[in-house]
Structure 1
Amino acid sequence: MGWFVRCVLVPWLFFAGGAVGVNPIISGTLSGSILGPIWPDYGLLALGFGIVTGWGITIAGTPFSANALLLERCTGYNTRVAAYDWSFRYSVISLAVSSLICGVLALPF
Structure 2
Amino acid sequence: MFLCQEEEFDPTGTEAHEPGAKLDGGKTLAGVLSDFSLALQAVAEVGTHGARKYSRGGWQSVPDALTRYKDAEWRHLLKSRHEEYDQDSGLLHDAHKAWNVLAQLEMRLRMEPKK
Question: Which TM-score band (shorter chain)?
Answer: 0.3 to 0.5
Instruction: Calculate the TM-score normalised by the size of structure 2.
Output: 0.34
> If you compute each CA radius of gyration, which structure gives the higher value, 1 or 2?
2
Q: Which has the higher contact order (CA 8 A, sep 6+)?
A: 1
Instruction: Calculate the TM-score normalised by the size of structure 1.
Output: 0.35
Higher helix share: 1
